[in-house]
Amino acid sequence: MSTYRLHGFGRSGNTFKVAMFLAAAGLDWEPVFVSVAAGDTRDPAWRAKYNPMGEIPVLETGGRMLTQSGAILMDLAENTGHFAAATPADRAEVLRWILWDNHKFTNYYSMHRLQKAFAPQPPPPEVMTWLKGHAALNLGLLEQHLAGRTWVVGDKPTIADLSLVGYMYYPAAETGFDIKADYPNIAAWSQRVAALPGWKHPYEMLPGGVPTPLR
């Protein structure tokens, strides 16, 4: 069995954040297919064994079940040294961006994508407009932060980059955003992350195939 078993699937950018770390750091890992869409994470037996919060990613290692991509990335960085902040001040910055990512950036962007492309019943149009507006606001903030910068914190890639970039590779047909056309700094930074060792598109790196957007 591999040292790290990453439970999730390619549709989950949160799972992909951890997969990018494991691949780029050259760690011994394997993906374990878990589908939110198929209801796997709502199964009480799955929750009891892997994550009572009912979420992927779950990183299984040494008998531990680590959850929450931000906490997993912090744990991996601190235990392996890869993608860690260079200084204590940078560490606080990295945590700041990861918290913002989870609370605002990934949250609105991924929720808009989920409702737009994969929800069987789309929510009312005003809900979609609200989600898309918040996602656009946050994209604008990151676009501005990346102006003249190579990485989100300091002068090397850190777990802040891996966290924030998690949903940036999904197609516009799913997300409703054309990152390449409208957010050039984010697009260039995403390509720098994609040049890290072992990088593959989430639909190739993780199991579950390529979904067809419902709308």
Ligand X SMILES: N[C@@H](CCC(=O)N[C@@H](CS)C(=O)NCC(=O)O)C(=O)O
> In the complex with ligand X, which residue's Cβ is closer, 46 or 182?
46
Binding site for ligand X (CB under 6 A): 12, 14, 36, 41, 54-57, 68-70, 102
Smallest distance from ligand X to CB 116, Å? 15
Smallest distance from ligand X to CB 147, Å? 26
> In the complex with ligand X, which residue's Cβ is closer, 5 or 182?
5
- 83 close to 30: Cβ distance less than 8 angstroms: no
Smallest distance from ligand X to CB 155, Å? 26
> In the complex with ligand X, which residue's Cβ is closer, 69 or 138?
69
Smallest distance from ligand X to CB 83, Å? 16
H helices of 120-183, where?
A: 125-145, 159-164, 172-175, 179-182
Tokens of 137: 């606001």
User: How far is residue 140 from each of residues 31, 63, 83, 120, 203, measured CA to CA in Å?
Assistant: 33, 41, 25, 29, 26
> In the complex with ligand X, which residue's Cβ is closer, 80 or 102?
102
Query: What is the distance between the alpha carbons of residues 38 and 187, in angstroms, rounded to a whole number?
Result: 32
